[in-house]
């Protein structure tokens, strides 16, 4: 972004405004500032830090806390970061008048800031002394000399009838009166002489009820609570959550441990090692201040949220470094002290009940970490399905004890650990800084010695490479230090440094010589020191190594498995309660149809819908490898972010039955094979009828799709979806690259929707589907899936997706025509496969695309 206009409009020999140096707050949290400017027309200047400049808008009437008010905000030139602290007189020239700082703080948003601004709608949160909560900046469609926007308050806990002028303090009111010269300005000054409050109203914490609960809590004891750092309780790492109702289970948040103390109403924030963090997190300190506590000790995790509301460790690090603007949340899970009482000896469930009351209805950035009691396996399963870090299990009746003990245990979804950086390798190719970091762990058998753990050379952003090159990967010696053993014999050209930095790394188990396999950099851990690695989150390095090796072997795709039968546990469990269908019935169904079912999923990456407690309770969509599987193969496939993940791949009937034992009800394979994941050999159109569409119209729509495909020279096959609609399946031989398949499917769907606008719609928005059939082409991308032939659906009645002959289309009554009970009878009466020949049809989609292109060029 350019400061050319700012520099051009000012004579810096006549103004005290800072020149365009862009030094200011670079490298720190993204800031905002609002300045009251008594220029020729009194207004508020609203500025947001975006990169190394302040994006700026002049707001004539100032911000309003009323969501119904659309305050005009005229975009002006970018300002340098140093302008955020500017106050005083602009003596002459552009912007002449007095400037006061009305408010300042940090701000956040989800998503890309510049992309939102280009689009003309920025949604963001402010954490200032006066301005707080969520806001919108929306660009006006009116063409004006300067771009016009509207500044609008979101209707949240901070919304009120207040305006900016209502929040002026005595100093700002005096400045306004002094600067007012015209009648209009005097009128504006007169309106702002009554200050209602220093900040917008907000519901106070329920302190009276809280105090009553504290006094009634067993083992709560009145005590003087200092504002000093207190030692946090730490968890040990385990392989599975402990069983029993004496344990509660919380989400393991992916962030930094953060402690808060309140003493005489003053808030202090601390890292897990006792470093002061109050200045780095002004919005967190402010939010705790607004609780109105006199004294407290609070424990939780600082996290950053992505656009989907999930914790994002990378975004947290970038936000704290000033490289991103993600919203930060303090996820609280314990309170060892409150309002003059120590609760360290009270039961955890009692402490959490007090914390829940304290945080009731509080807006971000404070949040309460909820929990479940018992059923740790279910809690962990849900964490896995939702791609969370894992779970932390805690004894319900345990006191709060600083340090690591057995009362808290954590179970992770992915292998990850912290390591010391022992050295680095030189860069190669276009990489700058270094090639890979060399990692190690303290030797448990000898103080001062290190065990080489392997290297990490992927997962680094350009910013990571620059930062690590400056802080870690510099200097060093080519001679291997004598206190490091277990070094990779293939390591060449390494430089070794004194272990000082700690990094966190994700990995896929251990390979030869117990070295990390498929390691990927997750982030620096400035909150942890080398000494913390000695106090590891496992009881011993031996336990760590043994457990990882075991899990690595279980997850490895080349581990041999004996071809034994799979035992179905809990066969009496109701999977379809309304229909009386048990887990054993589901297993019997898949065994009965296996010869028909298996060709549709074998050797294909396959997602499964697991309903371990029945279809009327929580079901999970799972595509990645699941711990504990012995007969199911996996394949490492690259995902959108560039990292590889282990995908489920059924290879035989045994693997299918093991997935059924693990609660799988539905099977959704890719349209390609695991060995050639970048190519598609099954293109699928899903005909999904909207409200008001009769079944006869769905039948007619399927026949029309078939006809249009035939005109392009493509043979298609038909399947009920097991839901409301039908699938039209186009085999491709040779297989075609996914981008070409998606391009064709998209164009085909759009063309059909344009030609038959009353029958088809090709956009996913439900608002457009009424009385029309949605022709879903989006299943034809790499990683997308569609339900397998003969797969059950997790819906009442146990419907099944069933292949049909085109001649049978007029004989069925709906997409859920066939069920678990009727499919075996249908298959017993079939003389031949309805999809006979689907794997031998030779049709090249590329030739079709070339023909279409030639036709258009003519």
Same domain, 216 and 348: yes
- Classify residue 407: in a domain, yes or no: no
Whether the Cβ atoms of residue 125 and residue 135 lie closer than 8 Å to each other: yes
- Indicate if 596 and 499 belong to the same structural domain: no
Among 128-137, 509-518, 739-748, which range has the highest average pLDDT? 739-748
pLDDT in tens, 381-393: 777 767 677 889 9
Interval 352-383: pLDDT, tens: 999 999 988 777 789 999 888 988 888 887 77
| Distance (Å, whole) CA 201 – CA 196 | 10
Q: Is 354 inside any structural domain?
A: yes
Whether 752 and 656 map to the same domain: the answer is no
Per-residue pLDDT, 543: 35
Average pLDDT over residues 607-631: 88
Q: What percent of the chain has pLDDT over 90?
A: 39
**What pLDDT score was predicted for residue 815?**
95
Separation between Cα atoms, residue 659 and residue 792, nearest integer Å: 13
CB 835 within 8 A of CB 803: yes
Burial 698-709 (b: 16+ CB within 10 A, else e): beebbebbbebb
> Within a domain: residue 389?
no
| Domain limit, last residue, from 644, 667, 690 | 667
pLDDT of residue 746: 94
Same domain for 213 and 89, yes or no, is no
Interhelix angle for 583-597 vs 653-661, to 10°? 160
User: What pLDDT, in 10s, does the model give residues 694-703?
Assistant: 999 999 999 9
Question: Quick one: 502 and 583 in the same domain?
Answer: no
| Within a domain: 136 | yes
Mean pLDDT calculated for residue range 605-632: 89
Tell which residue, 28, 26, 23, has the closest CA to residue 280: 28
Using pLDDT thresholds of 50, 70 and 90, give the confidence band for residue 178.
Answer: low
What digits encode the pLDDT tens for the residues 220-249? 999 999 889 999 998 888 778 888 889 999
Q: How far apart are CA 728 and CA 701, in angstroms?
A: 10
Residue 626 or residue 699, greater confidence:
699
Residues 559-585 have pLDDT tens digits of 333 334 688 999 999 999 999 999 999
pTM: 0.50
pLDDT value for 4: 76
Print the domain residue range for 151: 4-191
- Together in a domain, 733 and 802: yes
Which pLDDT score, from 0 to 100, does residue 561 have?
A: 31
Residues 644 and 694 grouped into a single domain: no
Do 746 and 777 lie in one domain? The reply is: yes
Whether the per-residue pLDDT at 201 is higher than 70: the answer is no
Residue 512's pLDDT band (boundaries 50, 70, 90)? low
CATH number, domain with residue 341:
3.30.470.30
Report the pLDDT averaged over residues 703-725: 96
The C-alpha atoms of residue 469 and residue 475 are separated, in whole angstroms, by: 10
Please indicate, yes or no, if residue 237 is contained in any of the structural domains: no
Same-domain pairing of 542 and 599: no
Query: Across the strands, what pairs with 101?
Result: 35
Of the pLDDT bands very low, low, confident and very high (cuts 50, 70, 90), residue 200 is very low
Q: Does residue 569 lie within any of the structural domains? A: no
Give the residue with greater pLDDT, 654 vs 146. 654
Q: Which residues pair with 436 in a beta bridge?
A: 425
The token duo for 409 is 């245990």
Q: What is the mean predicted confidence (pLDDT) over 773-783? A: 93
Catalytic residue numbers read: 252
- Based on the structure, what is the number of domains in the chain? 5
Of the chain, the percentage scoring pLDDT greater than 70 comes to 87
Q: Would you say residue 396 lies in a domain? A: no
């Amino acid at each position: 972004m350019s400061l050319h206009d700012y520099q051009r409009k000012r004579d810096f020999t006549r103004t005290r405004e800072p020149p365009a140096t862009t030094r200011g707050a670079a490298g720190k949290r993204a800031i905002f500032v609002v300045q009251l400017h008594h220029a020729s027309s009194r207004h508020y200047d609203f500025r947001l830090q975006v990169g190394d400049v302040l994006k700026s808008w002049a707001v004539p009437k100032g911000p309003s806390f009323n969501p119904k008010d659309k305050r005009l905000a005229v975009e002006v030139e970018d300002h340098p970061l140093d302008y955020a602290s500017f106050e005083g007189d602009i003596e002459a020239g552009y912007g002449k008048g007095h400037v006061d700082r009305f408010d300042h703080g940090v701000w956040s948003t989800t998503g890309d800031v510049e992309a939102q601004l280009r689009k003309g709608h920025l949604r963001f949160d402010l954490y200032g002394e006066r301005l707080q909560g969520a806001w919108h900046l929306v660009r006006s469609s009116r063409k004006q000399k300067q771009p016009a926007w509207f500044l609008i308050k979101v209707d949240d806990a901070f919304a009120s009838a207040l305006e900016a002028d209502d929040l002026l303090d005595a100093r700002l009111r005096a400045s306004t009166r002094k600067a007012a010269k015209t009648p209009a300005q005097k009128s504006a000054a007169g309106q702002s002489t009554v200050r209602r409050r220093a900040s917008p109203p907000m519901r106070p914490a329920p302190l009276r009820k809280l105090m009553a609960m504290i006094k009634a809590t067993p083992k709560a004891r009145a005590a003087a609570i200092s504002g000093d750092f207190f030692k946090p309780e730490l968890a040990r790492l385990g392989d599975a959550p402990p069983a029993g109702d004496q344990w509660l289970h919380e989400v393991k948040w992916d962030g930094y441990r953060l402690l808060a103390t309140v003493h005489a109403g003053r808030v202090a924030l601390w890292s897990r090692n006792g470093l002061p963090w109050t200045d780095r997190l002004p919005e967190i300190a402010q939010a705790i201040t607004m609780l109105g506590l006199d004294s407290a000790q609070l424990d939780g995790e600082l996290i950053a949220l992505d656009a989907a509301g999930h914790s994002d460790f990378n975004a947290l690090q970038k936000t704290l470094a000033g490289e991103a603007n993600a919203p930060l949340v303090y996820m609280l899970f314990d309170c060892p002290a409150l309002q003059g009482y120590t609760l360290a000896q009270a039961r955890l469930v009692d402490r959490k009940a007090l914390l829940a009351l304290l945080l009731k209805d509080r807006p971000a950035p404070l949040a309460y970490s909820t929990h479940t009691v018992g059923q740790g396996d279910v809690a962990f399963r849900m964490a896995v399905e939702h791609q969370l870090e894992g779970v932390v299990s805690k004894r319900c009746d345990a006191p709060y004890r600083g340090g690591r003990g057995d009362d808290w245990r954590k179970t992770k979804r992915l292998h990850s650990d912290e390591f010391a950086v022992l050295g680095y390798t030189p860069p190669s190719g276009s990489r700058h800084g270094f090639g890979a970091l060399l990692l190690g762990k303290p030797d448990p058998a000898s103080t001062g010695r290190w065990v080489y753990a392997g290297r990490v050379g992927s997962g680094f952003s350009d910013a990571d490479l620059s930062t690590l090159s400056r802080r870690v990967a510099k200097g060093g010696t080519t001679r291997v230090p004598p206190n490091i053993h277990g070094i990779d014999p293939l390591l060449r050209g390494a430089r070794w440094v004194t272990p000082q930095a700690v990094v966190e790394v994700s990995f896929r188990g251990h390979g030869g010589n117990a070295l990390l396999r498929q390691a990927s950099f997750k982030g620096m851990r400035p909150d942890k020191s080398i000494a913390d690695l000695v106090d590891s989150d496992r009881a011993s390095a031996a336990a760590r190594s043994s457990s990882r090796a075991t899990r690595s072997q279980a997850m490895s795709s080349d581990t041999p498995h004996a071809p034994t039968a799979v035992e179905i546990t809990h066969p009496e469990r109701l999977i379809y309660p309304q229909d009386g269908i048990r887990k054993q019935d589901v297993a019997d169904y898949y065994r009965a149809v296996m010869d028909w079912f298996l060709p549709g999923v074998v050797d294909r990456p396959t997602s499964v819908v697991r309903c371990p407690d029945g279809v009327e309770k929580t079901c999970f969509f799972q595509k990645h490898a699941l711990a504990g599987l012995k007969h199911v193969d996996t394949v490492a496939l690259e995902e959108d972010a560039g990292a590889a993940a282990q995908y489920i791949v059924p290879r035989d009937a045994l693997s299918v039955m093991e997935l059924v034992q693990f609660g799988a009800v539905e099977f959704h394979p890719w349209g390609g094979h695991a060995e050639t994941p970048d190519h598609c050999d099954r293109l699928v159109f899903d005909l999904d009828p909207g409200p008001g569409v009769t079944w006869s119209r769905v039948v007619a729509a399927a026949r029309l799709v078939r006809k249009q495909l035939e005109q392009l020279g493509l043979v298609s096959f038909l399947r009920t979806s097991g839901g409301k609609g039908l699938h039209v399946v186009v085999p491709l031989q040779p297989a075609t690259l996914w981008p070409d398949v998606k391009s064709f499917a998209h164009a085909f769907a759009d063309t059909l929707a344009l030609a038959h606008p009353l029958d088809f719609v090709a956009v996913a928005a439900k608002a457009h589907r009424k009385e029309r059939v949605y022709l879903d082409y989006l299943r034809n991308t790499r990683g997308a899936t569609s339900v397998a032939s003969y797969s059950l659906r997790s819906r009442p009645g146990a419907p099944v997706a069933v292949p049909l002959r085109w001649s049978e289309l007029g004989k069925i009554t709906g997409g859920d025509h066939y069920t678990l009970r009727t499919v075996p009878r249908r298959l017993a009466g079939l003389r031949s496969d309805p999809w006979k020949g689907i794997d031998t049809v030779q049709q090249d989609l590329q030739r079709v695309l070339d023909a279409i292109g030639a036709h258009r060029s003519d």
